[in-house]
Structure 1
Amino acid sequence: MNSALEFTVPPLFPQRSPPMCGIIGLFRPAPAAAPPGPERVMAARDRMAHRGPDGSGLFQAAGGRLVLGHRRLAIIDPSPAGAQPMTDADAGLTVVFNGEIYNYRELRRELMAQGVTFRSQSDTEVLLRLYDRHGVDGLARLNGMFAFALWDDRRQGLLLARDGLGIKPLYVFDDGETTGFASECRALAALLPERSASRADPAARLGFFMYGWVPEPFSPWAAIEMLPAGTWLWTDARGTSRGRFFDVVDEIVAAEMDARTATPKSRREWLASLRDDVAASVDRHLVADTPVSLFLSAGVDSTMIAELAASATGGVTGVTLTADRFIGSDDDEAPGAAATAAACGMPHHVRHLTAADFTDQRDALLRSMDVPTIDGVNVFFAAAAAADAGFKVALSGVGGDEMLGGYPSFRQIPPLMRFLGPVARIPLLGPALGRGLRRMTAPWLGAFTSPKYASLLECAGADADAYLLRRGLFLPWELERGEDARSLAETLARVRRAAGGDGRYARIASPYLRVLAMETELYMRGQLLRDADWAGMASSVEIRTPLADAALFRRAIRAIAAMTPPPDKRTLSVAIGPQSAAAATRPKTGFSLPIRDWPTASSTTGPVRKPRGLRGWAQFVYDSWNRENGMG
């Protein structure tokens, strides 16, 4: 018997799309299993109150063996009709959903043509009807940012799914008796069995110090993993199965094949198509029943969004974050952002952040951080500025650098592998030469540059290693001190496989597109999108990413694969408009803050000396996060 707690599930579907939120739940599939109890789920759910301050809900089924929880941030349809969990009693389906499905209207029309009837205009109902008709095969048709759990009462099973690019997080654990899931890792950790609650995963630690973020699918808790992007998990009394409905590498490989066989187009035609695809994605991301803001910098990505959104009904408001110490320097984003806002007729808010502001909010930032990361500070303060200005929604330019080759890695990794790769891949000799060069140069190289460049030859033989050399914080040999050699080797093998060391990127023919795949799957997904989630939700702000969108990626990658040379930001910006073209001529500064120069010790007397780059900040974050979360 199904029962809803804390509110009555509405008999009709809401008329608009669902709110952003936090979701959580427990399921014990065995019919004879003891119910996990709703109180534990309610308590863990309310640890995510910042994700959904506008309401909460709970649902039980399967004799109490299933408990679904939800926290609600009302952005679209803020009325009570938008409450979750949402049930279709006729089909025996109930869902808790975090995100949006942008193509729900097209799917609705297709389903109606197949004889499916609807009682509302909501994308929640489209999701349930699509599953009812096509099962997990229907997931490949969804375009949006989403993570959801769907209970199928007829089949007595639970389906978990996460969007193709991994914009929305979904953590899971399965100990053979209980399957748990949640939007946040720490909330799910509160539901772990006692025997697993304090067991850390060494791959999370090693991965964090190698990259500056915890690589997926790892989490600080050994029992918890991130559900891979573009995949689903089904669990019932017979066991657990998994499947995939979107894969970045598959899309790139398909695009390369299309480029070889498709009817040729001119470069002008491809650029026009790419411009239209970006504009359509921006339009999709503007739909909301509350005002929409834009994290506006002086850079190309946010300027393109601003220019494309300028003609939209209601428009957007720019929110710019800069450090007071940048005022008057080339690193100050405010003047360029102000020029864009004025040209687009856009209201504009500027927040100047001081070292004192950082110190005052440092502990709150660390408490909000769901898993350790060296990034996200800028987004944390930008989201707070948007919230202070009255916004629940902010657009971000995340995805532009990945799509249009904006990082130095696109220029540096291919020649490194082209010139040094053949030597590094010589059997036995290549690795020996790489280790020897590193051992000779590492002791003194750190006085002039990052010591990791001692591994220039050692890392030139494989995509994943070359990417680590360029993007990494520490290299594994720098972390060997005090570690058991065998244990470290086993952990490193796990991290390396997760970061592309399994050879998955070798399927892509183009060296440029291999870098694009790594930046999209590793840095963008592992750090930028995850940071956008926790840092935005800390202020109850939903961050949307028009340039990181699965439908846009699928179309854009075909244009990028077909064009020689691939389009860059300057090329596309000219097609977007004059403000974007002007932004492309400015030096790239990045959406950054001077974290390295701000104090991280308990003293606030001034900056303290730190190791090169963000290495000192990384150690501070890791130690502080562990203390805050009882992990050592």
Structure 2
Amino acid sequence: MCGIAGIVAVNGRAEPDEIDSMTGLIVHRGPNDHGYLGFNSTNRHAHFTKDIDQLQQSDRGFDVLLGHRRLSILDLSESGRCPMSYDNGGLWITYNGEVYNYIELREELRGLGYVFTTGTDTEVILAAYRAWGVHCLQRLNGMWSFALLDVERNILFCARDRLGVKPFYYHWDGTTLSFGSEIKQLVALDRVSTAMHAGVLFDFFTFNTYGCNSEHTFYRDILDMRGGHYMMVPLNAQASWSPRPVQWWDIDLRNKNLDWSDKQYADRYLELFEDAVRLRLRSDVPLGTCLSGGLDSSGIVCVVDRLLQNQGVTGLQKTFTAISDSAAFDEREYAQAVIDVTQVEPSFVLPTAGRLLQDLDKLIWHQDEPFLSTSIFAGWCVYSLAREKGVTVTLDGQGPDEMLGGYVPFMYKACLADNITGLHWGAALRNAQGIHQTLGLSYPKIARDLLGEWGKGVLPVSMMPSLRKARELFQSDFFDQAVRESVFLKERSQLADWKRRVGGGRFDQLLYRYTRHDSLPGILRQVDRNSMAFSIESRLPFLDYRLVEYTFSLPNEQKLLGATAKQVYRRALSGIMPDKIRDRTSKLGFVTAEPEWLQQDAKKTFVDAFSQISADAPYHKLQVQNQFDQFLSGTARFDNMMWKVFCTERWLAQNLIK
């Protein structure tokens, strides 16, 4: 796990000072080592150095510069340093991530005659590219973001893992391509504008998007190369060239060929899940697991314990859990149930409003963009605790909520609609009864929700309730511009075409949206920045591509039945995870007592912040203040809009956003 930076000056000279600045801004991603590569695409001369002065003083005139910060995980020796070369300097790479099946790939490549001099997965990527070209991506199991320089072909091959676990941001001004692991690296460049993307901010407020549902970021001129994409950069580019990422992987919603029993589905799920965890235990540094007490993280802890016991190894797994003084937000009872049946060394941390306010500017700096709620802060505290305990690699449970229907109140409607459309009346009845009994929804309410699901995308934009609220919140000029630039509304207008293109039923399409656009990418951004802020590599077993593809091949009832999500996962972990956890239908995750904090310890800070909202802010100061006053007086329910305004104000001030 590391951080990368790069500059490609088309028909010009790249500035070493810039690559030095970009690399220096991400020391937290790689505190163990660093390196630079200068490349002249005309004479094909490459120069590696740890001393930026050598590039600054060179008369070679480099038009390509690569930078790297290293967090040592595999092969801790200097031979793992990046940018790394291969094939007598014919290939170079700056790389962030881990390829977990590197041992198996290395043996396959050795059989093809390739030679290795390090114990790193980095060298395996280079050899795999030499053997299979861009098709090497299909063989990698892991998370990555890299830029690979092919000297002979005079191209830079930039690629990102399937689901976008590792970040790749870029800026193109018509003559220079700049890219890096974090937005702050690009914002620091004089040629990059800090103008805000009005549509992304609008979607964040109006539709609760993370700002990660497309290639656009909160910055108008900074783009995000999406997961499952690569980009070829010709180093002798003509003036007409511009970045055009190519999609190399996607989820196939039409792959529904299995007709198995519940046990067969569960057995295969467990087989894939255990192997995903096994691969992610490969490390030359200490590992731990983030344990919330929920279904997903508990399963990881239990499977790690099972694998270690099968190897005769005990007492190596450490767990890290956020707790709360508020019973409504505390899951230590469930975390303890897992701790009691496994051989782990547990640690706990209590996030507080005081620490949030103390750490907030650092948190925003690391995240680069506003975030929806303070739940991100619980994760921040957990990674801080893991670093205190000497852990460099953690296993985390992101993914099943999006892929297995975990957000039941928001997802059941699509599943029920599929039942009825497919004339599966028994399943429809079971699902409706389960929702009625578990969520407490009346049958008329369920019927209205179902009609709303069938009418999705049909309601005129002007009649959307969220849009009416947005019109009240935002200044009229900003509102008009933002509606024109809204990514969400543009995608909504193309929804029918998109559904025809991807196929599948309503429920699978919804899970796809949550996994590829609306939910998981934003969570992955938060996890990456939180973990890397403390120089920790976060590994996500549920996002093993084999498990992802298998999960999307399953019928609906293996995911959601009644009001109980993750059916196949629950059955797969029978006898492995405590039933107290396995039978849970409630969910929290890493959360905080945000409403209580705003009413108590953080109240004055919020009141002061809202009183200082400027006249040129995108939202109405009085509207924000009135809503907060109503919340404090108990005449209005908690609304995360208050946090979003507060967080956005701090972000605007910190980054001098225009």
Partner AA of 1:197 in structure 2: S
Deviation at 1:570, TM superposition (A): 5.0
* Matched-pair contact (CA < 8 Å) for 2:395–2:540: yes
Is 1:463–1:505's contact at 8 Å kept on the other side of the alignment? Answer: no
Query: 1:213 touches 1:373 (CA, 8 Å); kept in 2?
Result: yes
Per the alignment, residue 373 of structure 1 pairs with: 371
Rounded Cα–Cα distance in structure 2 between residues aligned with 1:220 and 1:377? 20
Select which of 602, 605, 610 maps to 1:603: 605
Q: 1:480 to 1:457 in 2, by over 3 A?
A: farther
Corresponding position of 2:317 = 316
Could you tell me which residue of structure 2 aligns to residue 339 of structure 1?
337
Given that residues 8 and 65 in structure 2 are in contact (C-alpha distance below 8 angstroms), is that contact kept between their aligned partners in structure 1? yes
Aligned-pair CA distance for 1:24: 0.6
Q: Kindly provide the amino acid, as one letter, of the partner of residue 616 in structure 1.
A: M
Q: CA deviation at 1:46?
A: 0.9
**Alpha-carbon distance, 1:598 to partner:** 1.9
Cα offsets for 1:401-441 (capped at 9, x unmatched): 12221112221344579999xxxxxxxxxxxxxxxxxxxxx
CA distance in 1, matches of 2:458, 2:286: 42
Matched, 1:548 2:524: no
Do the aligned partners of residues 131 and 475 (structure 1) sit closer, same or farther apart at CA in structure 2, a change above 3 Å counting?
farther
For 1:132 and 1:184, how far apart are their aligned partners in 2? 28
Structural mapping, 1:57-96, within 5 Å: 57-62=35-40, 63-90=61-88, 92-96=90-94
Instruction: Decide whether aligned partners of structure 1 residues 474 and 356 sit closer, same or farther in structure 2, where only a CA change above 3 A counts.
Output: farther
Cα distance 1:527–1:603, how it changes in 2: closer, same or farther (>3 A)?
same
Distance (whole Å) between structure 2 residues aligned to residue 386 and residue 69 of structure 1: 28
Counterpart residue number, 1:103: 101
Corresponding residue number in structure 2 for 1:184: 182
Quote how far apart the aligned CAs of 1:578 are. Answer: 4.6
Q: Distance in 2 between matches of 1:23 and 1:511?
A: 39
In structure 2, the CA distance between the partners of 1:286 and 1:473, relative to structure 1 (3 Å rule), is farther
* Superposition deviation, residue 594 in structure 1: 1.4
- How far apart are residue 121 of structure 1 and its match? 4.1
Q: Structure 2: how far apart are the matches of 1:497 and 1:36? A: 37
Q: Which residue of 1 aligns with 2:202?
A: 206
* Secondary structure of 2:233's aligned partner: strand
The yes-or-no answer on 1:52 pairing with 2:54 is no
- CA distance 1:500–1:372, shift in 2 (3 Å): farther
Distance of 1:105 and 1:559 partners within structure 2: 30
- Structure 2 residue corresponding to 1:246, chosen from 240, 245, 249: 249
Task: Check conservation: 2:558, 2:568, Cα contact below 8 A.
Answer: no
> Which residue in 1 is equivalent to 2:300?
305
Amino acid at match of 1:29: V
Deviation at 1:191, TM superposition (A): 2.6
Q: Which of 458, 461, 464 is matched with 2:455 structurally?
A: 461
Shift of 1:335: 2.2
TM-score, structure 1 normalization: 0.81
The alignment's C-alpha RMSD in Å is 3.3
CA–CA separation in structure 2 for the residues paired with 1:495 and 1:70 = 38
Aligned partners of 2:473 and 2:221: how far apart in 1?
24
1:447 aligned residue: none
> Of the candidates 476, 481, 486, which is equivalent to residue 482 of structure 1?
476
The one-character-per-residue Cα deviations of 1:329-384 (angstroms, maximum 9, x if unpaired) are 25321122122112111110011222222232223222222221124222111111
Residue 202 of structure 1: how far off its partner (Å):
1.8
Contact 1:103 1:143 in 2 (8 A): yes
Name the CA distance, whole Å, in 2 between partners of 1:95 and 1:217: 24
Residues 395 and 75 of structure 1: is their aligned pair in 2 closer, same or farther, counting only changes over 3 Å? same
Q: Among residues 352, 356, 375, which one is paired with 2:350 in the alignment?
A: 352
Cα offset, 1:498, TM superposition: 8.8
Structure 1 pair 502–122 and aligned structure 2 pair: CA distance change class (3 A): farther
Aligned to 1:535: 530
Q: Does the 8 Å contact 1:463/1:500 carry over to 2? A: no
Are 1:575 and 2:597 an aligned pair? no
Deviates more, 1:51-60 or 1:566-575: 566-575
Q: 1: CA distance between counterparts of 2:15 and 2:481?
A: 38
Q: Kindly provide the amino acid, as one letter, of the partner of residue 543 in structure 1.
A: S
SS of 1:265's partner is coil
Partner in structure 1 of residue 612 of structure 2:
none
Q: Distance in 1 between matches of 2:572 and 2:465?
A: 30
> Which residue, 485, 507, 527 being the options, matches 1:512?
507
Structure 1's 563 and 394: CA in aligned 2 closer, same or farther, altered over 3 A?
closer
Aligned to 2:655: 629
Instruction: For structure 2, list consecutive stretches of 5 or more residues without a partner in the other structure.
Output: 41-60, 422-447, 610-627, 632-636
The AA in structure 1 aligned to 2:149 is: W
Which stretch has the larger CA shift, 454-463 or 116-125?
A: 454-463
Distance (whole Å) between structure 2 residues aligned to residue 499 and residue 233 of structure 1? 28
The aligned residue for residue 616 of structure 1 is: 642
In structure 2, relative to structure 1, the CA distance for the partners of 1:229 and 1:395 (3 Å cut) is: same
Quote the Cα distance in structure 1 between the aligned partners of 2:248 and 2:118. Answer: 27
Report how far residue 503 of structure 1 moved. 3.8
Structure 1: gaps of 5 or more residues? 1-19, 421-453
Alpha-carbon displacement from aligned partner over 1:33-68 (angstroms, at most 9, x marks no partner)? 1x2211111112111111112221111111411111
Q: Please give the alpha-carbon distance, in whole angstroms, between the structure 2 residues aligned to 1:252 and 1:109.
A: 33
Whole-angstrom distance in 2 between the partners of 1:459 and 1:562: 19
* Aligned counterpart, 1:25: 6
* SS of match in other structure, 2:329: coil
Contact 2:198 2:481 in 1 (8 A): no
Find the counterpart in structure 1 of residue 53 from structure 2: none
When normalised by structure 2's length, the TM-score is 0.78
Distance 2:467 2:101 in 1: 39
Alignment of 1:222 with 2:205, yes or no, is no
SS in 1 for 2:577: helix
Change (3 A) 1:280 1:498: farther
Among all aligned residue pairs of Structure 1 and Structure 2, give the percentage whose two residues are the same amino acid: 26
Residue 382 of structure 2 corresponds to which residue in structure 1? 382
CA offset digits 1:577-608 (Å, max 9, x no partner): 35343203333233210123324566399997
Aligned equivalents of 2:157 and 2:558: distance in 1?
40
The 1:181–1:230 alpha-carbon spacing in structure 2 relative to 1, beyond 3 Å, is: same
In structure 2, the partner of 1:423 is none
In structure 2, relative to structure 1, the CA distance for the partners of 1:473 and 1:416 (3 Å cut) is farther
1:77 is displaced (CA, Å) by 2.4
Please state how far the C-alpha of 1:535 moved relative to its aligned partner.
1.2
Instruction: Tell me how far 1:292 sits from its aligned partner.
Output: 1.1
Q: What secondary structure is seen at the aligned counterpart in 2 of 1:53?
A: coil
- Match of residue 231 from structure 1: 229
| Contact residue 55 and residue 73 of structure 1 kept, 8 A | yes
Q: CA deviation at 1:233?
A: 0.5
Name which of 275, 282, 285 aligns with 1:290.
285
Query: Is the CA contact 1:304–1:573 (under 8 Å) kept in the aligned structure 2?
Result: no
- From the superposition, tell whether residues 111 and 470 of structure 1 become closer, same or farther in structure 2 (CA, over 3 Å): farther
Contact 2:198 / 2:478 at 8 angstroms: preserved in 1?
no
